[in-house]
Structure 1
């Protein structure tokens, strides 16, 4: 039975299960590691400066590409800046934690999707998909 088909009395119970699931996910070691790593990235001035530099280079590259002025050297400059950013220990930890959390959330998505016979996180809102 979908949420739309659920009786008015059942909807709050389903929504409460969703809230409980969110709270339980927030208590997982994967989520806690992600939050700690995210906060470390936000506090690290060197990482923030490298993020700003990368974002500027990327924006310039996108603009150059849209005007037909982008070169392979420009692309390599952006890729090198991204590699330097990702190699910073604080950022590397964040990316690892993000990957681990993504894996956990994909497993949760699969657990929700299995009984529904639809990819809850990916296709539930789509129309007419095979």
Structure 2
């Protein structure tokens, strides 16, 4: 597709399609689907989200304790140590590194951090 005949949006769509074909993206999707299928992981996610929501509410009212924070941190550590969840987090990290590289490649000729600053206002 030549730049003369393609809109920036078309090129963006093509880039998205190419990213979706990378091994990093495919591993991420497979790991995400595995997390969604794993009943034990889903249960732990629910438990962690509940604890985190309770802690955030307590924090907003000034009633959060160090003990409650440790409980949330321990629940998160337990969740992240599960093999299926660990594989997902590793795949997510790999995909993020790939997307960071893509962002840098796009940003270089623009002299702007495409993913971080391009949409911001009044940044120095």
TM-score normalized with structure 1 length: 0.90
Say yes or no: does 1:77 pair with 2:71: yes
* C-alpha distance in 2 between matches for 1:52 and 1:21: 35
Say yes or no: does 1:61 pair with 2:51: no
* C-alpha distance in 1 between matches for 2:16 and 2:59: 40
* C-alpha distance in 1 between matches for 2:60 and 2:122: 34
* C-alpha distance in 2 between matches for 1:31 and 1:55: 26
Q: Post-superposition shift, 1:120?
A: 0.5
Structure 1 residue ranges (4+ consecutive) displaced by more than 6 angstroms after TM superposition: none
Superposition pairs of residues 5-16 of structure 1, within 5 angstroms:
12-16=6-10
1:116 corresponds in structure 2 to 110
* C-alpha distance in 2 between matches for 1:82 and 1:28: 29
Cα 1:15–1:57 change in 2 (3 A) is: same
Say yes or no: does 1:98 pair with 2:86: no
Q: Post-superposition shift, 1:12?
A: 4.9
TM-score normalized with structure 2 length: 0.94
Kindly provide the CA deviation profile for residues 30-77 of structure 1, in whole angstroms up to 9, marking residues without a partner as x. Answer: 000000000000000000000000000000101111111111000000
* C-alpha distance in 1 between matches for 2:117 and 2:64: 35
Residue range with higher mean Cα deviation, 52-61 or 10-19: 10-19
* C-alpha distance in 2 between matches for 1:41 and 1:73: 29
Size of the alignment, in residue pairs? 122
Task: Name structure 2 gaps, 5 residues minimum.
Answer: none
